[in-house]
Amino acid sequence: MNIILLGPPGAGKGTQARHLVETRGMVQLSTGDMLREAKDSGTEMGNIVAEVMAKGQLVTDEIVIGLIREKLESKEGSGFIFDGFPRTLAQADALGELLAAEGEALDAVIEMEVDDDALVARITARSTCGTCGEVYNDNTKPIPADGHCVKCGGTEFKRRADDNEESLRTRLMEYYKKTSPLIGYYYAKGDLSKIDGLAPIQEVQSSIAGVLDK
């Protein structure tokens, strides 16, 4: 099963992707992670990535598609979660062509809908465990009183420098300009399902499971 999680920054795509990895054996394909992994891999594609990044140039869509092709051909896990790709209509077309060429299909595109003001309020209160990445929120899931992460016992917590209202609204605008056209694109293809991205984490997990188990 191959799926795309869509939603603005802070909608919880990463949290839900990790849950699917743990519970369904899927593989999360994060563009950033793939590039870092490729850069150090020594493969032909990895050497291309390393050269581009060393020059400070932008990685092209063709390179990212090449990395995704390598992952698809590896047959890892029970399916792939596309995280951070596609971001544009051109990338969506390229991904569709690649999946078809590899004999694969896109089984679901899940949009995690959010209210922008509520999202900003949630993210500006967010912090993460510096060891395992567990997410906390000052209002709904505060860091434990004993200062230890409930998941790994770590004691270092951090906030992203750009988790402030001004930066978030800039990132939201960028998302809506570039990525939101994908919602109409996948709706027209009959692939899109919408869920409430601001519901409690367990409810979001159940909503995603409901889409995948149809």
Which of these is catalytic: 126, 141, 159, 194?
A: 126
Long-range contacts of 150-156 (CB under 8 A, 24+ apart): 154/129, 154/130, 156/129, 156/130, 156/131
Q: Examine the residue annotation and report whether 24 is marked as an active-site residue of this protein.
A: no
Query: Annotated catalytic, 18?
Result: no
If one counts every other C-beta atom within 10 angstroms of the C-beta of residue 92, the result is 21
- 171 a catalytic residue: yes
Q: Which of 39, 71, 159, 160 is catalytic?
A: 160
Reference 124, options 175, 156, 162, 157; nearest CA is 162
Check if the beta carbon of residue 92 is closer than 8 Å to that of residue 185: yes
Q: Are 136 and 128 in contact (CB under 8 A)?
A: yes
Instruction: Spot the catalytic one: 18, 39, 87, 194.
Output: 87
Return the active site residues.
13, 87, 126, 160, 171
